Amino acid sequence: MKRALVIGAGPAGLMAAGALADAGLSVTVAEAKPTVGRKFLMAGKSGLNLTKDEPLEGFLAAYGGARAWLEPILRDFGPQAVQDWARGLGQEVFTGSSGRVFPKAMKASPLLRAWLRELDGKGVRFETRWRWQGWRDGATVCETPDGEQELTPDVTVLALGGASWARLGSDGAWAKWIGVPLAEFRPANMGFRREWSRFMEPHFGAPVKPVRLTVGEQSVVGEFVVSRKGIEGSVVYAVSAALRDGGDLVLDLLPDLTLEQVEKRLAKPRGKNSLSNHLRKTLGLKGVKVALLREGGALPEGAALAARIKALPLALDGPAPLDEAISTAGGVPVEALDGLMLKDRPGVFCAGEMLDWEAPTGGYLLTGCLATGLAAGRQAAEY
């Protein structure tokens, strides 16, 4: 029986293991941490967003510059296939109002347990606390609790994660062993730093909603949270790549109103009301939104105030550090691959976040990991 080694037991690695076992190979999964799927479990703590239920064209657009080479993989295992896969593991799913798809149990642990039971039934063997150390004389070297092990599998799938959340296993340490020039690691789906004035302190932890964030031609409505260090939240992650790459952030604090409507309401007689009370009574603006307005300097009145409400520039001090990012851009470039196999190392395939692609949260990131894992497993089995 042919032997396959999968290095990394996150979503991509587990999908690859299943595909290899289905093809009749003897599969061993080596995981550096004491348990498997740690980042997967953490991602599901507040609700495991499996995928996004939307037309495929819109879904594919979320992968930006990597769409061209990811498209066949995502067409083969896209949003509907992810939902069917979860149901096949006995985990019913539902679609939220935003189109995001979640297991009805919400958490990741029931799905992971069912997944591991299925892999166990297929004969997949797991070795934890096995850390990959590259290759030596054609053998794959792993550091294990029982000392160094040298393995000679027929095929290998590397699913080593990116370079964020080191405590969960994605530390990028594999970069020194991979043997090909990598695209630089950069944070993705991360918050941004800002040094606030003292007037923002009462609002740390407050959500800003609804709000429109615009960076260049990209514009997204949602909510974010003001923290002591800056801003974070799903709508920030959606524009994080554009912000990281030098774009300027503009806030629309009242996305449901036009500029003309804001001007008209502000023009109502103020009487003895303070400007803060006038904003609250005419526009419902208060708390953290008014504090954000004041971060831009003394409040003007009339048309100038309306313009600031609808287009408030917010200067930022840069992205959160790499290890605080939800995911990373960079890694193994597509130019180093034949399909998903390393051109310079036949029989070794790459999957998941270690590949050079990025996508926003909202189901795109996890679907990409699952789909590339499945594709790498199938390509390795065919090889």
pTM of the model: 0.93
Q: Indicate the Cα dihedral angle 320, 325, 327, 333, nearest 10°.
A: 40
pLDDT at 10: 97
Containing structural domain, residue 260:
192-313
Strand partners, 287: none
User: CA-CA distance, 249 to 231, in Å (whole number)?
Assistant: 12
Statement: residue 46 has pLDDT above 90 = no
Q: Which of 313, 343, 364 is the last residue of a domain?
A: 313
pLDDT at 160: 97
On whether both 87 and 174 belong to a single domain, the answer is yes
Query: What count of residues does the chain have?
Result: 383
pLDDT at 97: 84
pLDDT at 378: 98
Statement: residue 14 has pLDDT above 90 = yes
Average pLDDT of 45-49? 88
Statement: residue 88 has pLDDT above 90 = yes
Domain assignment present for residue 259? The answer is: yes
C-alpha distances in angstroms, 285 versus 144, 148, 185, 220, 223? Answer: 58, 62, 40, 20, 15
Domain assignment present for residue 318? The answer is: no
C-alpha distances in angstroms, 27 versus 6, 142, 274, 297, 300? Answer: 7, 16, 70, 62, 67
pLDDT at 296: 84
On whether both 267 and 361 belong to a single domain, the answer is no
The residues near 301 (Cβ < 8 Å, ≥ 6 apart) are 266, 275
Task: Answer for the pair 354, 162: CB distance below 8 angstroms, yes or no.
Answer: yes
Look over the chain and give the mean of its residue pLDDT values, rounded to a whole number. 96
On whether both 166 and 201 belong to a single domain, the answer is no
pLDDT at 281: 95
On whether both 266 and 286 belong to a single domain, the answer is yes
Please name the helix (run of DSSP H) or strand (run of DSSP E) that holds residue 100, with its range, or none.
strand 100-103
Average pLDDT of 54-79? 96
DSSP assignment, residue 77? S
Under the banding of pLDDT at 50, 70 and 90, the label for residue 230 is very high
On whether both 36 and 110 belong to a single domain, the answer is yes
pLDDT at 297: 87
Q: Which of 261, 286, 313 is the last residue of a domain?
A: 313
pLDDT at 172: 94
| Lowest-confidence region among 40-44, 110-114, 156-160 | 40-44
Q: Which of 313, 340, 356 is the last residue of a domain?
A: 313
On whether both 170 and 236 belong to a single domain, the answer is no
Average pLDDT of 302-319? 96
| Lowest-confidence region among 82-96, 113-127, 145-159, 269-283 | 269-283
Average pLDDT of 283-290? 96
Query: Residues of the chain with pLDDT > 70: what percent?
Result: 100
Domain assignment present for residue 319? The answer is: no
CATH code at position 162: 3.50.50.60
Residue range 93-139, pLDDT digits in tens: 999 988 999 999 999 999 999 999 999 999 999 999 999 999 999 99
DSSP secondary structure letters along 295-361: HTSS---HHHHHHHHHSEE-----BPPGGGSSEEEEEB-GGGEETTEETTSTTEEE-GGGBS----T
Number of domains in the chain: 2
Under the banding of pLDDT at 50, 70 and 90, the label for residue 44 is confident
On whether both 178 and 196 belong to a single domain, the answer is no
User: CA-CA distance, 301 to 279, in Å (whole number)?
Assistant: 10
On whether both 154 and 196 belong to a single domain, the answer is no
Phi/psi region, residue 373 (left: phi>0; alpha: psi -120 to 50; beta: rest), is alpha
On whether both 44 and 160 belong to a single domain, the answer is yes
Residue range 173-210, pLDDT digits in tens: 999 999 999 999 999 999 999 999 998 999 999 999 99
On whether both 340 and 253 belong to a single domain, the answer is no
Statement: residue 43 has pLDDT above 90 = no
Average pLDDT of 327-344? 97
Average pLDDT of 43-53? 90
3-class secondary structure, 121: helix
On whether both 147 and 201 belong to a single domain, the answer is no
On whether both 17 and 126 belong to a single domain, the answer is yes
